[in-house]
Amino acid sequence: MRMSTIDKEIREERSELKRARRARKNQKKTKNKKKKEYVGLKRFFTTMFFLGSIGVIAGMTLLYGPWANFREWLITTAMTTMTHQYFATWFYDDDVINDVLERNKVVEIKEDTNTDAIHLATGQATEYENEYEKAILERDPNNNDYKIIEINEKKFSGYLVAVYDPARIRTVCTKNLGVSGQYLTKMSEDNDALIAINGGGFDDPNFSSTGGSPLGVTLCNWEFASQAPYKASGGIIGFTRANKLILTSKVSKQEAKAKDIRDGVTFGPFLIVNGKKSSVVGNGGWGTAPRTAIAQRTDGIVLFLVVDGRTASQPGADMDDLIKVLLKYGAYNAANLDGGTSSVLVVNHTIVNDPIDSSGAHKTRPIATGFILTKDESDDGDHRVVADKLGED
């Protein structure tokens, strides 16, 4: 049956109406979709703005609010780093920084070391006053040179090394004095050392130092490696001809000669002098970080202390923490050495602690000086505490 012209027109109109309806429906869907997307984006940016505002308010409250603990921690920690003092100087002017540092400091004992109180012992004890004395004096059966003791505290962990013969402790320096530092592992290899720790500080103009210029006076086997002026806390940390650790705030070539110092570096603060601990005001002014310290007991045994930090669970140690650990193990004279990324313990030319640099990488940096324990025929290389890190069975 043939379709009339009128029927064709009616059918075409109906088709056109359907197409129009579909177009309006699709347009409505597209409009609703765009509206939902807009609402979603609006909610997202509103949420981000809200969270950002909370973050800014929280940050400003921490930085400038009435609670001083965070502000003092930030300033003291930042101002004792080599490269990140801007964390403090960005937010606070010099007056605020100086005020915080004045209220958080170490007040040192104003005495030089009385070496007459140090009596180098040769025998081995069989009775111990406490667990800490036992840890030091009960030697490893196969090692008469040193003993490594693990240190585990809430804020930090690390190692304490008891060195039984102070006559074999030497200061080592970078071979590129005045130009660049060396890694402690290289210093250890070059000097065939059993044990090595980092030493004194080094000049850091514009926070761009390569570790080549030691602070103050440095002696390596009677030779002066540096004689720079020094006005900060502490002073010379050295060993005399009689193998006694001496601390003196008088930093000069003349003083080193007068004290008969054979090996030593310059840094501080002094933590314990003649059995008297320094007074730590506030947090001590050095913040919380990896640390290295050196000490001697009245029986002549030398203590190397290296502790790690810069992790969320263990930020590190402050000066008071170092004093407490060293006193437990019988330190009579003790001094803080360079810390942070420089804090390193090397055993058998291998780093056994966990240094972390300012970027968060697990590595150390070139340094100017270190203390080493030299070898002798009695050493058999027994270091069971760190055997796993040295790849030993």
Burial class (CB in 10 A: 0-12, 13-18, 19+), 256: buried
* Adjacent-strand bridge partners of 245: 239
Query: For each of the chain's 393 residues, which pLDDT tens digit applies?
Result: 455 666 666 666 666 666 766 766 666 666 666 566 555 555 655 555 545 555 555 445 544 555 566 666 666 666 665 555 766 676 677 777 767 676 778 889 988 899 999 999 876 777 889 999 999 999 888 888 999 999 999 999 999 999 999 999 999 999 999 899 999 999 999 999 999 999 999 986 655 567 889 999 999 999 999 999 998 899 999 999 999 999 999 999 999 999 999 999 999 999 999 999 999 887 777 888 999 999 999 999 999 999 999 998 999 999 999 999 999 999 999 999 999 999 999 999 999 999 998 788 999 999 999 999 999 876 667 788 898 888 875
* Adjacent-strand bridge partners of 295: 303, 334
Q: How far apart are CA 17 and CA 25, in angstroms?
A: 12
- Which pTM does this prediction carry? 0.79
pLDDT score for 9: 64
Other C-beta atoms lying within 10 Å of the C-beta of residue 375? 15
At 188, phi and psi to the nearest 5? -65, -45
Q: Distances in Å between the alpha carbon of 166 and those of 108, 160, 253, 294? A: 25, 15, 23, 12
Q: How far apart are CA 70 and CA 76, in angstroms?
A: 10
Q: How far apart are CA 74 and CA 287, in angstroms?
A: 7
Task: Report whether 137 contacts 144 (CB < 8 A).
Answer: no
Task: Report whether 214 contacts 204 (CB < 8 A).
Answer: no
Give the torsion through C-alpha atoms of 375, 386, 369, 216, to 10 deg.
Answer: -110
